[in-house]
Amino acid sequence: MSNIKKNNAFNINIKDIVRLEDINIKNSFSDIESLKFLDDPDLFKMNVDLHCKYVPNNFLFLDGKLQFFSKKICGRCLEEFEHILSLDFTEDLKFSDSDTFINIESLINENYWLNVPYVYVCKDDCKGLCDICGTNLNKKQCSCDKEKKSYFFKDIFDKINKN
Ligand SMILES: [Zn+2]
Ligand SMILES: [Zn+2]
């Protein structure tokens, strides 16, 4: 590992774990500086609740939960909302005799980006915007004639099918 930062909150002290056999890492981070490694400027908080166990022959077994809090824009209604991503985190880490700590930032980062949704949606039943007038349909109904639109598409489909 090249860019090792000392006093980093995500450094796991190997000697402590070997000595104690297992430790719990429970922490909440809400300062931008300590969340920077995640490379998502929308994040404002992260909770870590991990159990870290020493396994003979230079292994650490990590297991627990991570929670990420971010402000996102809903892909349907375009409103800002608070998104919470909860992840189960399980990793086996090998270390060498010369290591004093293992930094788990890149592992957390990897897990985060593998699990972020393709599209952020404020709630499962978000009604989105009317695609005719742009009204946020979660807040009020509009009087647009949705039928007209489906006829419009029906005409197109009919034409395509004829050709
Ligand atoms: Zn929405
Ligand atoms: Zn409308």
Q: What's the CA-to-centroid distance between 160 and ligand 2, angstroms?
A: 27
- pLDDT (tens digit per residue) in 64-94: 999 999 999 999 999 999 999 999 999 999 9
Q: What's the CA-to-centroid distance between 141 and ligand 2, angstroms?
A: 7
- pLDDT (tens digit per residue) in 16-53: 888 888 889 899 999 888 899 999 999 999 999 999 99
Cβ pair 43, 66 in contact under 8 A = no
CA distance 161 to 145: 25
Contacts of 43 (CB under 8 A, 6+ apart): 35, 68, 69, 70
pLDDT higher at 152 or 159: 159
| Residue closest to 112 by CA, chosen among 85, 72, 90, 91 | 85
Q: What's the CA-to-centroid distance between 137 and ligand 2, angstroms?
A: 8
Ligand (nearest to CA of 149): 2
The two tokens of residue 118 are 């393709």
Domain boundaries of the chain, sorted by first residue: 11-126, 129-163
Mean residue pLDDT across the chain: 88
